Amino acid sequence: ITVDQSALLALKSHIAHDPHNFLTTNWSTSTSVCSWIGVTCGSKHYRVTALNLSSMDLTGTISSLLGNLSFLAWLDIHQNSFHGSLPIELTNLRRMKYLDFGNNSFNGEIPSWFGCFTKLQRLYLDGNHLKGHLPSRIFDNLSKLQILNLESNQISGKIPNSIFKCKELRILSLYNNSLEGSLSLEIGNLSMLRYLFLGDNNLIGEIPSVIGNFISLTDIDLGLNYFTGKISSLFSFLLLLLCSLFYL
C-alpha cells in the first residue's frame, strides 16, 4: 500500500489545477489510500484496483509512477484537462480491463504499447488531440476488447487489419478522424458488432457486403466518406422490418 500511496501522491503532484479541491483536501497521508476519493481497493490485498477521477475538472499530466499501481484494473480519468503524452510505464498495468482517457487534451501518437494490455475490454481515447497512424500490430493481442472508441482525434493512415482480430468487439467508433484507404473484407470477423461508426473520414472503396450479415448491428454511420456500393439486401430487409415495427 506504501507503493500505491507514493504512486497516487506522484499523480497528485502532477495536477496543476484542482478547482474543486477534490485531491487537495482528500488525498492526505493522514488517512488510508483506500478511503481517498476516486480510489477503490481490493478486499484481499488492500491494493488499489480502480481509480476514477472522471469529470473533476482536473488539469495536469500523467505521472510515470502511475505504472506502479500493479493491481489496477480500472482507470477512468475522462472529462478533464489532462494533457501531454502517455508515459510508457503504464505498460506495467497488465491487469487493466477498463481504460478511459476520453475528452482530455492528450497529444502525440497512439503508442503501440497499448497492445500490452491483453486483458483490456474497453478502451476510450475519444476527444483528444491524438494524431499519426495507428500502429499496424497494436490490436494483435487484444482479443478480449469489446469497446474501442477513438473518435474525434486527428488519426490518419489506414485502419490496421489487426483490429479485425478483436472478435469480441461490440462497439467500434473511429468517427471524425482523417483515416483513409478502403475497408477490408476482414471486417466480417467482427460479427458481434452492435455499433459501427466510421463516418467523417476519408475512406474509399466499396462497402463490404459482409456488413449486411451483422445481425446484432443496431447503429451504423459510414457517412462523410467516399464509399461506393450498397449494404446487402439482408441488412436492408432487417432495417425495413425494424422501421415497420417502430411505426406499428
* CB neighbours of residue 196 within 10 Å: 22
Q: Quote the pLDDT of residue 247.
A: 42
Q: How far apart are CA 74 and CA 54, in angstroms?
A: 12
- Taking only the tens place, the pLDDT of each residue in 180-224 is 999 999 999 999 999 999 999 999 999 998 998 899 999 999 999
Predicted pLDDT of residue 213: 86
Output the average pLDDT for the chain: 92
Angle, alpha carbons 213-163-50 (nearest 5°): 110
Residue pair 31/53 in contact by the 8 Å Cβ criterion? no
Q: Three-state SS across the chain?
A: CHHHHHHHHHHHHCEEECCCCHHHHHCCCCCCHHHCCCEEECCCCCCEEEEECCCCCCEECCCHHHHHCCCCCEEECCCCEEEECCCHHHHHCCCCCEEECCCCEEEEECCHHHHHCCCCCEEECCCCEEEEECCCCCCCCCCCCCEEECCCCEEEECCCHHHHHCCCCCEEECCCCEEEEECCHHHHHCCCCCEEECCCCEEEEECCHHHHHCCCCCEEECCCCEEECCCCHHHHHHHHHHHHHHHC
20-24, 92-96, 177-181, 233-237: least confident range? 233-237
Asked if 89 and 69 touch (Cβ cutoff 8 Å), the reply is no
Q: Which residues contact 239 (CB under 8 A, 6 or more apart)?
A: none
What average pLDDT does range 162-182 have in this prediction? 97
Query: Please, are residues 122 and 76 in contact by the beta-carbon 8 Å criterion?
Result: no
Which residue from 66, 65, 132 is spatially nearest to 38, judged by alpha carbons?
66
pLDDT at 234 over 80: no
As given in the structure block, the three cell numbers for residue 169 are 468487439
The partner residues of 84 in beta bridges, in order of sequence, read 106
pLDDT at residue 4, rounded to an integer: 96
Q: Per-residue pLDDT tens for 136-154? A: 999 999 999 999 999 999 9
Q: What is the pLDDT of residue 44?
A: 87
Residue 240 has pLDDT above 80, yes or no: no
Q: Which whole-number Å values give the CA distances from 115 to 88, 91, 101, 118, 135, in the listed order?
A: 12, 9, 16, 7, 9
Q: Is the pLDDT of residue 232 over 70?
A: no
Domain boundaries, the chain: 3-246
What is the rounded average pLDDT of the residues 104-128? 96
Whether the model clears a pTM of 0.85, i.e. scores above it, the answer is yes
For residue range 24-56, list pLDDT tens digits in order.
Answer: 999 999 999 999 999 999 998 899 999 999 999
User: Which residues, 6 or more positions from 190, have their beta carbon under 8 angstroms from its beta carbon?
Assistant: 164, 166, 167, 169, 172, 214
Q: Please determine, for residue 235, whether its predicted confidence score (pLDDT) is greater than 60.
A: no
Q: Is the pLDDT of residue 236 over 80?
A: no
pLDDT at 158 over 60: yes
Supply the pLDDT for residue 229.
Answer: 81
Fold of domain 3-246: 3.80.10
The pLDDT tens digits of the residues spanning 87-111 come to 999 999 999 999 999 999 999 999 9
In one letter, which amino acid is 111? P
